[in-house]
Amino acid sequence: MEKVYGVAPGPEHYACMVDLLGRSGRVEEAAHLLEGMSGKPDATVWKALLAACRAHRNAALAERAAERLFELAPADAVPYVMLSNVYSAAGRWGDVARVRSLMRARGASKEPGRSWMEQDGAVHEFRAGERDHERAAEIFAKVGEMMQRIEEEEEHTADTGFALHDEGEEGKAAELARHSERLAVAWALISVPPGKPIRVYKNLRVCGDCHTTLKLVAKAYERTIVLRDANCFHHMREGLCSCGDYW
């Protein structure tokens, strides 16, 4: 960039490089790249590194990236949640509680997860675990059917490392099964005619277990699921996702 085009790389270029290296699993190389920056990395760069650490479960580097983000934006809930996810995946529940406590003390509030979809001119909104929908009984029964079907057909078991509470394996799996995007997809399987794509929107980043689950649901039910989360569009079909399992 500098020698040929005379363009000095800025934080946005480094963030893209960190993302690329993270996608290929070269997390340590991404961290080394930041050390050679001419200026100080901004929040976008550190978030890219933290996301890579979350995907590859590198707790040591995740702690380093999160600490920098705590300094740059102490009231931003995202780095606290992402670091908490890294700890929960490693079974470090004491550290999960510590980060959550720190988050509350600094006034960083996490927006409640919600998903929604439009059907026949009406918007149906779902929040994790809530039973406010008029056909909630059918929706939760369909979630149970979804989970049983992908367990039997695809031998899928819940990745409880993405649960945020230490409630035992069954409790963690039940917590994940109540996530809002699963409720929305369950409703779509009930209400959207076969052959039409299922389109769901979510205000937060989809968790890893929900991502895997919805890919397998798309395959098992022979449907196309388009999930727009806080980070990107996920086009799921035949057990695969357009994001390449990195987001």
pLDDT tens, position by position, 178-204: 999 999 999 999 999 998 999 999 999
DSSP state of 110: P
Q: Which residues pair with 241 in a beta bridge?
A: 236
Backbone phi and psi for residue 46, each to the nearest 5 degrees, phi listed first: -65, -35
CA distance 55 to 27: 10
Among 10-14, 158-162, 180-184, 185-189, the range scoring the smallest mean pLDDT is: 158-162
> Tens of pLDDT along 25-42?
999 999 999 988 888 899
Backbone phi and psi for residue 142, each to the nearest 5 degrees, phi listed first: -65, -40
Backbone phi and psi for residue 174, each to the nearest 5 degrees, phi listed first: -65, -40
Q: Provide the pLDDT for residue 167.
A: 76
DSSP letters along 188-238, please? HHHHSPTTSPEEEEESSPPPHHHHHHHHHHHHHTT--EEEE-SS-EEEEET
DSSP letters along 109-145, please? PPPPPEEEEEETTEEEEEETT---STTHHHHHHHHHH
